[in-house]
Amino acid sequence: MIPKIPNKVASIFIVGTLTLVLIWIHAGNQLLKLPKIETTGNLQIIPAAFGLLAIAGVSALLGSVIQGIAGAMRIIFQKLSDTDRFCCFLFAHKERAEARFWAKRFRELAEVSEYQDLYEKEGGEKCVSKWPDPFPLLAPTLFFKHATEPHLSWVLQHYATYFLATDIVIVVLISLVISLVEVPGWGMKSAVAFCHVVASYALLSVALHRYLYTYNSAMRHGCLFLIEGRVGDPRGTPGTAQQAIAESRPACPLISTPSRPAAPELGD
Protein backbone atom coordinates (compact mmCIF):
# COMPACT_ATOMS: atom_id res chain seq x y z
CA MET A 1 0.00 0.00 0.00
CA ILE A 2 1.05 3.57 -0.65
CA PRO A 3 0.19 6.52 1.62
CA LYS A 4 -1.50 9.50 0.02
CA ILE A 5 0.79 12.27 -1.22
CA PRO A 6 -0.30 14.83 1.46
CA ASN A 7 0.43 12.28 4.18
CA LYS A 8 3.86 11.56 2.72
CA VAL A 9 4.75 15.25 2.40
CA ALA A 10 3.51 15.97 5.93
CA SER A 11 5.52 13.03 7.24
CA ILE A 12 8.67 14.34 5.56
CA PHE A 13 8.29 17.81 7.10
CA ILE A 14 7.31 16.46 10.53
CA VAL A 15 10.33 14.19 10.73
CA GLY A 16 12.63 16.83 9.26
CA THR A 17 11.39 19.49 11.68
CA LEU A 18 11.88 17.17 14.65
CA THR A 19 15.43 16.46 13.54
CA LEU A 20 16.11 20.16 13.01
CA VAL A 21 14.81 20.98 16.50
CA LEU A 22 16.97 18.21 17.89
CA ILE A 23 20.05 19.66 16.18
CA TRP A 24 19.19 23.14 17.44
CA ILE A 25 18.85 21.92 21.02
CA HIS A 26 22.25 20.27 20.99
CA ALA A 27 24.10 22.76 18.76
CA GLY A 28 22.20 25.99 19.47
CA ASN A 29 25.01 27.59 21.48
CA GLN A 30 27.47 27.19 18.61
CA LEU A 31 24.94 28.50 16.08
CA LEU A 32 24.29 31.63 18.14
CA LYS A 33 27.99 32.51 17.94
CA LEU A 34 27.82 32.87 14.16
CA PRO A 35 28.03 36.45 12.79
CA LYS A 36 24.69 38.15 12.37
CA ILE A 37 23.57 40.28 9.45
CA GLU A 38 22.44 43.66 10.73
CA THR A 39 19.67 45.29 8.74
CA THR A 40 17.31 48.18 9.29
CA GLY A 41 13.82 49.02 8.17
CA ASN A 42 12.14 46.96 5.47
CA LEU A 43 15.36 45.05 4.76
CA GLN A 44 14.66 42.92 7.83
CA ILE A 45 11.96 41.11 5.86
CA ILE A 46 14.52 39.64 3.44
CA PRO A 47 16.60 37.75 6.04
CA ALA A 48 13.40 36.58 7.75
CA ALA A 49 11.92 35.23 4.50
CA PHE A 50 15.24 33.67 3.55
CA GLY A 51 15.44 32.06 6.98
CA LEU A 52 11.96 30.54 6.68
CA LEU A 53 12.76 29.14 3.24
CA ALA A 54 16.05 27.78 4.52
CA ILE A 55 14.34 26.10 7.49
CA ALA A 56 11.71 24.54 5.19
CA GLY A 57 14.39 23.33 2.79
CA VAL A 58 16.58 21.89 5.52
CA SER A 59 13.56 20.20 7.11
CA ALA A 60 12.59 18.61 3.79
CA LEU A 61 16.18 17.47 3.21
CA LEU A 62 16.53 15.93 6.67
CA GLY A 63 13.10 14.33 6.40
CA SER A 64 13.94 12.77 3.03
CA VAL A 65 17.23 11.38 4.33
CA ILE A 66 15.57 9.92 7.41
CA GLN A 67 12.79 8.39 5.32
CA GLY A 68 15.42 6.75 3.15
CA ILE A 69 17.07 5.22 6.22
CA ALA A 70 13.68 4.24 7.63
CA GLY A 71 12.78 2.60 4.32
CA ALA A 72 15.67 0.18 4.73
CA MET A 73 14.58 -0.45 8.31
CA ARG A 74 11.01 -1.17 7.17
CA ILE A 75 12.24 -4.00 4.94
CA ILE A 76 13.74 -5.70 7.99
CA PHE A 77 10.71 -4.75 10.07
CA GLN A 78 8.28 -6.42 7.67
CA LYS A 79 10.33 -9.61 7.63
CA LEU A 80 10.41 -9.66 11.43
CA SER A 81 6.65 -9.08 11.55
CA ASP A 82 6.19 -12.58 10.16
CA THR A 83 7.90 -14.17 13.18
CA ASP A 84 6.08 -15.14 16.35
CA ARG A 85 8.78 -13.96 18.75
CA PHE A 86 8.91 -10.45 17.36
CA CYS A 87 5.12 -10.11 17.40
CA CYS A 88 4.88 -11.48 20.94
CA PHE A 89 7.62 -9.09 22.06
CA LEU A 90 5.53 -6.15 20.80
CA PHE A 91 2.21 -7.66 22.02
CA ALA A 92 0.87 -8.21 18.51
CA HIS A 93 0.61 -12.02 18.51
CA LYS A 94 -3.19 -11.95 18.08
CA GLU A 95 -2.93 -9.65 15.08
CA ARG A 96 -0.25 -11.92 13.60
CA ALA A 97 -2.45 -15.01 14.01
CA GLU A 98 -5.35 -13.16 12.39
CA ALA A 99 -3.10 -12.12 9.50
CA ARG A 100 -2.06 -15.70 8.86
CA PHE A 101 -5.65 -16.88 8.98
CA TRP A 102 -6.89 -14.36 6.41
CA ALA A 103 -3.83 -14.82 4.19
CA LYS A 104 -4.47 -18.57 4.08
CA ARG A 105 -8.16 -18.10 3.29
CA PHE A 106 -7.40 -15.54 0.60
CA ARG A 107 -4.91 -17.86 -1.09
CA GLU A 108 -7.42 -20.71 -1.07
CA LEU A 109 -10.04 -18.50 -2.71
CA ALA A 110 -7.67 -16.88 -5.20
CA GLU A 111 -6.25 -20.18 -6.40
CA VAL A 112 -9.67 -21.19 -7.79
CA SER A 113 -10.59 -17.78 -9.19
CA GLU A 114 -9.77 -16.01 -12.45
CA TYR A 115 -6.53 -14.89 -10.81
CA GLN A 116 -5.07 -18.39 -10.65
CA ASP A 117 -3.09 -17.62 -13.83
CA LEU A 118 -0.94 -15.25 -11.78
CA TYR A 119 1.01 -18.29 -10.65
CA GLU A 120 4.17 -18.82 -12.63
CA LYS A 121 3.89 -22.05 -14.54
CA GLU A 122 6.77 -24.33 -15.26
CA GLY A 123 6.34 -27.61 -17.16
CA GLY A 124 2.57 -27.33 -16.94
CA GLU A 125 2.62 -27.24 -13.12
CA LYS A 126 2.14 -24.34 -10.78
CA CYS A 127 5.37 -23.09 -9.28
CA VAL A 128 4.52 -21.84 -5.79
CA SER A 129 8.05 -21.51 -4.49
CA LYS A 130 9.23 -18.64 -6.68
CA TRP A 131 9.51 -15.08 -5.43
CA PRO A 132 7.66 -12.76 -5.57
CA ASP A 133 4.45 -14.51 -4.62
CA PRO A 134 1.63 -12.85 -6.60
CA PHE A 135 -1.28 -13.50 -4.25
CA PRO A 136 -0.21 -11.28 -1.29
CA LEU A 137 0.10 -8.43 -3.81
CA LEU A 138 -3.32 -9.22 -5.26
CA ALA A 139 -5.26 -8.39 -2.07
CA PRO A 140 -4.12 -4.73 -1.87
CA THR A 141 -4.79 -4.40 -5.60
CA LEU A 142 -8.38 -5.56 -5.18
CA PHE A 143 -8.75 -3.32 -2.14
CA PHE A 144 -7.59 -0.20 -3.99
CA LYS A 145 -9.78 -1.01 -6.98
CA HIS A 146 -13.05 -1.84 -5.25
CA ALA A 147 -13.02 -0.37 -1.72
CA THR A 148 -15.19 2.64 -0.99
CA GLU A 149 -13.61 5.98 -0.24
CA PRO A 150 -14.28 5.95 3.56
CA HIS A 151 -12.77 2.47 3.95
CA LEU A 152 -9.82 3.38 1.73
CA SER A 153 -9.13 6.58 3.66
CA TRP A 154 -9.38 4.78 7.01
CA VAL A 155 -6.87 2.09 6.04
CA LEU A 156 -4.49 4.59 4.44
CA GLN A 157 -4.46 6.63 7.64
CA HIS A 158 -3.34 3.56 9.57
CA TYR A 159 -0.65 2.82 7.00
CA ALA A 160 0.54 6.44 7.10
CA THR A 161 0.79 6.12 10.89
CA TYR A 162 2.97 3.04 10.40
CA PHE A 163 5.26 5.05 8.11
CA LEU A 164 5.44 7.99 10.49
CA ALA A 165 6.13 5.83 13.55
CA THR A 166 9.04 4.05 11.86
CA ASP A 167 10.44 7.40 10.72
CA ILE A 168 10.32 8.82 14.24
CA VAL A 169 12.16 5.73 15.52
CA ILE A 170 15.17 6.86 13.47
CA VAL A 171 14.91 10.35 15.01
CA VAL A 172 14.82 8.80 18.49
CA LEU A 173 17.92 6.73 17.72
CA ILE A 174 19.75 9.84 16.49
CA SER A 175 18.75 11.64 19.68
CA LEU A 176 20.03 8.69 21.72
CA VAL A 177 23.46 8.80 20.09
CA ILE A 178 23.78 12.58 20.55
CA SER A 179 22.59 12.40 24.16
CA LEU A 180 25.04 9.65 25.08
CA VAL A 181 27.88 11.78 23.72
CA GLU A 182 26.91 15.02 25.46
CA VAL A 183 25.26 13.93 28.73
CA PRO A 184 27.85 13.61 31.52
CA GLY A 185 27.91 10.79 34.06
CA TRP A 186 26.92 7.16 33.66
CA GLY A 187 23.84 7.64 35.81
CA MET A 188 22.42 10.31 33.53
CA LYS A 189 23.45 8.35 30.45
CA SER A 190 21.58 5.30 31.73
CA ALA A 191 18.44 7.33 32.45
CA VAL A 192 18.52 9.00 29.05
CA ALA A 193 19.12 5.66 27.31
CA PHE A 194 16.21 4.07 29.19
CA CYS A 195 13.83 6.85 28.13
CA HIS A 196 14.89 6.52 24.50
CA VAL A 197 14.52 2.72 24.55
CA VAL A 198 11.01 2.99 26.00
CA ALA A 199 10.05 5.54 23.35
CA SER A 200 11.46 3.34 20.57
CA TYR A 201 9.60 0.30 21.92
CA ALA A 202 6.30 2.18 22.01
CA LEU A 203 6.77 3.48 18.48
CA LEU A 204 7.67 0.04 17.12
CA SER A 205 4.62 -1.45 18.82
CA VAL A 206 2.35 1.17 17.26
CA ALA A 207 3.99 0.63 13.87
CA LEU A 208 3.53 -3.14 14.01
CA HIS A 209 -0.13 -2.93 15.05
CA ARG A 210 -0.90 -0.43 12.27
CA TYR A 211 0.97 -2.48 9.68
CA LEU A 212 -0.84 -5.71 10.57
CA TYR A 213 -4.18 -3.90 10.63
CA THR A 214 -3.76 -2.68 7.05
CA TYR A 215 -2.57 -6.14 5.98
CA ASN A 216 -5.59 -7.83 7.58
CA SER A 217 -7.98 -5.28 6.09
CA ALA A 218 -6.71 -5.95 2.59
CA MET A 219 -6.90 -9.73 3.04
CA ARG A 220 -10.42 -9.63 4.54
CA HIS A 221 -11.66 -7.41 1.76
CA GLY A 222 -10.10 -9.71 -0.83
CA CYS A 223 -11.76 -12.77 0.70
CA LEU A 224 -15.19 -11.15 0.76
CA PHE A 225 -14.72 -9.86 -2.76
CA LEU A 226 -13.87 -13.29 -4.15
CA ILE A 227 -16.63 -15.00 -2.17
CA GLU A 228 -19.27 -12.60 -3.44
CA GLY A 229 -18.08 -13.23 -6.98
CA ARG A 230 -17.73 -9.59 -7.93
CA VAL A 231 -14.84 -10.15 -10.30
CA GLY A 232 -15.60 -8.07 -13.35
CA ASP A 233 -19.10 -7.14 -12.15
CA PRO A 234 -19.41 -4.11 -9.82
CA ARG A 235 -23.09 -4.88 -9.19
CA GLY A 236 -22.20 -8.03 -7.29
CA THR A 237 -23.69 -10.55 -9.74
CA PRO A 238 -22.18 -14.00 -9.06
CA GLY A 239 -19.42 -14.57 -11.58
CA THR A 240 -17.11 -17.34 -12.62
CA ALA A 241 -14.97 -16.94 -9.50
CA GLN A 242 -17.89 -17.83 -7.24
CA GLN A 243 -18.87 -20.74 -9.45
CA ALA A 244 -15.33 -22.11 -9.46
CA ILE A 245 -15.12 -21.79 -5.70
CA ALA A 246 -18.46 -23.54 -5.20
CA GLU A 247 -17.49 -26.37 -7.52
CA SER A 248 -14.00 -26.98 -6.14
CA ARG A 249 -14.56 -26.30 -2.41
CA PRO A 250 -18.20 -27.08 -1.57
CA ALA A 251 -17.40 -27.92 2.06
CA CYS A 252 -15.63 -24.64 2.87
CA PRO A 253 -17.45 -23.03 5.85
CA LEU A 254 -16.69 -19.55 4.50
CA ILE A 255 -18.62 -20.06 1.29
CA SER A 256 -21.07 -22.87 1.96
CA THR A 257 -24.73 -21.99 1.56
CA PRO A 258 -27.69 -23.83 3.05
CA SER A 259 -29.46 -26.13 0.66
CA ARG A 260 -33.00 -25.28 -0.31
CA PRO A 261 -35.75 -27.95 -0.40
CA ALA A 262 -37.08 -28.84 -3.82
CA ALA A 263 -40.37 -27.29 -4.79
CA PRO A 264 -43.30 -29.72 -4.63
CA GLU A 265 -44.73 -30.84 -7.92
CA LEU A 266 -48.20 -29.64 -8.66
CA GLY A 267 -50.75 -32.28 -9.56
CA ASP A 268 -53.19 -32.08 -12.41
Name the region of 37 (left: φ>0; alpha: ψ -120 to 50; beta: rest).
beta
Nearest by Cα to 112 from 231, 256, 208, 243: 243
pLDDT of 225 > 60? The answer is: yes
266 belongs to a structural domain: no
What pLDDT is stored for residue 147 in this prediction?
86
d(Cα 225, Cα 129) in Å, to the nearest integer?
Answer: 26
What pLDDT is stored for residue 171 in this prediction?
94
What pLDDT is stored for residue 128 in this prediction?
47
pLDDT of 166 > 90? The answer is: yes
267 belongs to a structural domain: no
Is pLDDT larger for residue 228 or for residue 34?
228
Cβ pair 248, 255 in contact under 8 A: no
% of the chain with per-residue pLDDT over 70: 66
The pLDDT tens digits for 56-113 are 888 889 999 999 999 999 999 999 998 999 999 999 999 999 999 998 898 888 878 7
pLDDT of 239 > 60? The answer is: no
Mean pLDDT of 149-161: 89
Helices and strands of the chain, counted as H and E runs? 8, 2
State how many domains the chain has.
1
29 belongs to a structural domain: no
What pLDDT is stored for residue 207 in this prediction?
96
193 belongs to a structural domain: yes
The pLDDT tens digits for 5-52 are 456 788 888 898 888 888 887 776 555 555 555 555 554 555 666 777
d(Cα 154, Cα 216) in Å, to the nearest integer?
Answer: 13
268 belongs to a structural domain: no
224 belongs to a structural domain: yes
35 belongs to a structural domain: no
What pLDDT is stored for residue 6 in this prediction?
52
pLDDT of 248 > 50? The answer is: no
pLDDT of 231 > 50? The answer is: no
129 belongs to a structural domain: yes
pLDDT of 245 > 50? The answer is: no
The residue segments making up the domain with residue 209 are 5-22+52-248
What pLDDT is stored for residue 260 in this prediction?
47
